[in-house]
Amino acid sequence: MRQLRRQDQLPFPKFLRYALLEIGVTTVERQRRSSWELLDRIVRWLALIGSMCILILMLLTVYSVVMRYLVKRPQSWAFDLSIFLQVGILFLGVAYALSEDAHVRIDAVVTRLPKRGRLVLDSITTTVIFLFSALLTVSGVKEALDNLGGISNSTAMLPTFPSYAVIPIGGFLLCLVCISKIRGYLLLLTKREEVQ
């Protein structure tokens, strides 16, 4: 059996269905959905890059230990690069962690609340996270611009801008994920019959 497409389900004559689609009655909904899907894809890709940073950090640590203790030639750049990678891991993965609800929660009180109370509490906490991440994004942009030509204080003299630039990127994506989650919570809260 053939599934009906969205335009076939509209309660208008066929010629009006296509006209309504052209002026955007259902196209707006589709664009909204695709923009959230695009955000989800970007967040997942950056989390994948962050997980690759974990692998690079692990290999870098092994290399640094081998060079320091077996070869007796410590690498001055390895420590700075490991700190930069840790910043990348954190800020590239934080939006993904929030989108998947993978962050640490204290459930002792939350599980005793009714579903509606949990949704209200989740929307309040996500709003607080949004405010914090907006502040983080603004201050992160300022710090990144201040460190545009900066170098590390060690003998390696690595550029510091990439590690500062990832902070506002992660903060901005965290803001967008918060908006998406708050939108979802509000949609669930407006459906009174399902949320009890």
- Residue range 92-124, pLDDT digits in tens: 999 999 999 888 777 787 888 898 888 899 999
Tell me the one-letter amino acid at 157: M
Torsion of CA 168, 169, 175, 179, to 10 degrees: 160
Percent of the chain with pLDDT over 70: 80
- Is residue 139 over pLDDT 90? yes
pLDDT tens per residue, range 160-172:
899 999 999 999 9
Tell me the one-letter amino acid at 108: A
Q: Please tell me the pTM assigned to this model.
A: 0.75
Tell me the one-letter amino acid at 29: E
The domain locations on the chain are 10-190
Name the one residue in this structure whose structure tokens are 């990832």: 166
Cα(156)–Cα(167) distance, integer angstroms:
22
In the prediction, which pLDDT does 190 show? Answer: 86
Q: What is the DSSP letter of 73?
A: -
